[in-house]
Structures are given as C-alpha cells and as structure tokens.
Amino acid sequence: MKKRIYAVLAALFTLAALSGCGSAGEKIDYNLVFVNNSDATIVEVVADFVDRDSGVRNADSSPLKRGETFGFEAGEYPVTVLVYDTAVGRIAERELARIVITEAPLEGERWYVTAQDGTHGLVLTADTERSAGA
C-alpha cells in the first residue's frame, strides 16, 4: 500500500513539474492589442466583441502612460474598441474615441489598435502591423 501511495505521489509531482515547464515564460497570444501612442488621459480601454467584452485599466485608475500596451483575447467579430478618460468606481465615464473592426485578423496576425493625438482629440487606428513609434 505504501509503495502505491509513493508511486502516485511521485507521478503527481512529475506531472506538476512537467506542467510547470510548459507554462514558465509562456505568453498568451493575443490577437487584439491596444497601443497608447498618445499623451491623452486614457483611464480605461474596452474591447466589446459580439459574444463578450473586457476592459482594462490600471489598478489605481491612473492614466495609461505613452507606450503602454494591453492585449485582449478575441471573441466573435466585429469588435468595438472604446477608450475612456475617467472612471467613477467600477464604471467608465466619458468616451474619448472608438473604432469598429469588422473582421478577425488573418491566421497568424493580430490587430493593433493605436491611440494617437489628433488635431481634434484622440484618434484610433487599426492595422495588422504595429506602427512605427508605437
């Protein structure tokens, strides 16, 4: 009986060690990435897919810094990416900009939604290549 318990424990430890090896340093491959290439006060970014939505903001609700990026696991397209400048509690307030992407990226590609300063406020662009300076 002791031998069986030790064998089971050894097998469990081996499985735990092997599963840890696969996930060490492993990155989730997001197919929608938000890139802040602006000086605007961006507090929250929301990706609203047909079948789900998700939002990101700093834990203390401080504005995103230029150069910060956030990845979103994709849902069903189309997706609307919305950018907000203030948050009250759990709810994002004032919308700064939005962009709608109608199609999923091709296999092996991802969408980069880049926020840039425009002459009349924040401008969002979407491309499958990350723009220079972003």
Residue 36 lies in a domain: yes
Distance spanning both ends of the chain, measured CA to CA = 61
DSSP string for 68-80 = -EEEE---SSPEE
Smallest CA-to-CA distance from 43 within 106, 5, 87 is with 87
Residue 47 lies in a domain: yes
Q: Residue range 17-32: average pLDDT?
A: 52
Residue 8 lies in a domain: no
Would you state the pLDDT for residue 3?
45
Cβ partners under 8 Å of residue 8, min gap 6 = none
CB atoms within 10 A of CB 123: 17
Residue 20 lies in a domain: no
Distance of CA 87 to the CA centre of its chain: 18
Q: What is the rounded CA–CA span in Å between residue 94 and residue 85?
A: 6
Lowest mean pLDDT among 1-5, 37-41, 49-53, 82-86: 1-5
pLDDT tens-digit readout, 97-115: 999 999 999 988 999 999 9
Tell me the H-state helices in the chain.
Answer: 2-23
Q: What is the rounded CA–CA span in Å between residue 59 and residue 17?
A: 32
pLDDT tens-digit readout, 27-73: 556 889 999 999 999 999 999 999 988 888 888 888 999 999 999 98
Residue 91 lies in a domain: yes
Q: Which residue range forms the structural domain that includes residue 42?
A: 32-127
Residue 12 lies in a domain: no
CATH number at residue 75: 2.60.40
What percent of the chain has pLDDT above 90?
49
Q: What is the rounded CA–CA span in Å between residue 115 and residue 85?
A: 12
Residue 50 lies in a domain: yes
Residue 6 lies in a domain: no
Domain count, the chain: 1
